[in-house]
Amino acid sequence: MAMKGLLWLLLATIASAKLRYDGHKVFRVVPEDEHQLQALRDLEEQSQGLNFWTSARSLNRPVDVMVPPHLLRDFYETARRNQLTTEIFIDDVQKTIDSERPAHKVKEAYGWTDYYDLNETYGYLQSLVEEHPQHVALYVGGRSYEGREILGVKLSYKEGNPKIFVESGIHAREWICPALSTWILNQLLTSTDSDVRFIAENFDWYVFPSTNPDGYQYSHTTDRMWRKTRTPGTSCDGVDPNRNWDDHWNEGGASSNECSEIYAGTGPFSTVETASLADTITELNPTVYFSFHSYSQLLMVPFGHRYEMANNYYKLLEIGNIAAVSLSKRFGTQYVVGSIIEAIYEATGGSMDWAKSKLNVTYTFEWELRDKGNYGFLLPADQIVPTSEETLDSIITILRRVSLALPKNES
């Protein structure tokens, strides 16, 4: 019995140990011809130990690839054989992970100088209800495979306001997104700035900091670079929840390979996370849909497929361009504006495209937040506040223009 107990303890310790990325490097590669592009696509689809932080989808657009130490020689050989020029953006991923958060962690209360796990984030949402019961209520947006709630809040100052749905953290490793969402909530409740007060009091906000709660918690406890859900698979676990929506599902920029980071699942809404979240969004029928991702510094509008433009594409593009200028004024951060397929790459089965095509949500915007690859998904915690400040500047600009366009009884 003693031996069995020791074995159980050993297995439990191994299962709970954090995966380390010592010696893993992130390379930037830019395909310059179709042969090079196809070579990178083949590598990504094979999913044999390489982790594509950005996908190979078009010519002359950067592709960031994390390579473990034991595959470095093979990667260099593949690059040489295909005449690909490589540049190291992150020399040691583990060192970057170790420096992502403050060296001296003081967590007396939830704040924005560090990153917080799911339980701490949900605790913060609960505290908002306790401190602002007249304006904030908990709102369950859905469920996860492991039985967690997709928890958010409704923030409202008066009934009848147009609704904003904020979807954040659908990719687990993009920690800046839940941090941004909670920072915005704090501003909506406490800021005395006239523009912030306007958007707080003239819209009803439904904010969900982590719409992939299993994956997000797993990225804190076990694997910092985890992206997908925790849905069990045959060969590999997890589905990309932003390729699993019922809009041009798996028609491009997605994969049928379970081990791919962009695995689309067995069918539209095959994950409980996306299916239950879609039911909530349908019920709410929002006027505005915001989606937060990282990284690349992009402000995007539908669509991620090749077949059509959004019915108000030019209006969304106009608003987006003005918003990007607003965003740039505070710190000089430059964003590219365009449809998903124009600004980044083809990607089908995404949440924002579904909201536009299936629900005809009028105003739909998706941010790829800081940075452009120096840190990638490992944005240092000291950039949470500046990232949030400039993003809120762009949101204010968008909502000011939305308000002008709405009928008077809706704004």
Q: Up-side HSE of residue 67: CA atoms within 13 Å toward CB?
A: 26
Tokens of 284: 């709410």
Tokens of 283: 């019920």
The answer to whether 368 is a known catalytic residue is yes
Phi and psi, residue 320, nearest 5°: -60, -40
CB atoms < 10 A from the CB of 172, how many? 30
Which candidate in 261, 366, 368, 390 is catalytic?
368
Query: Which residues participate in catalysis according to the annotation?
Result: 368
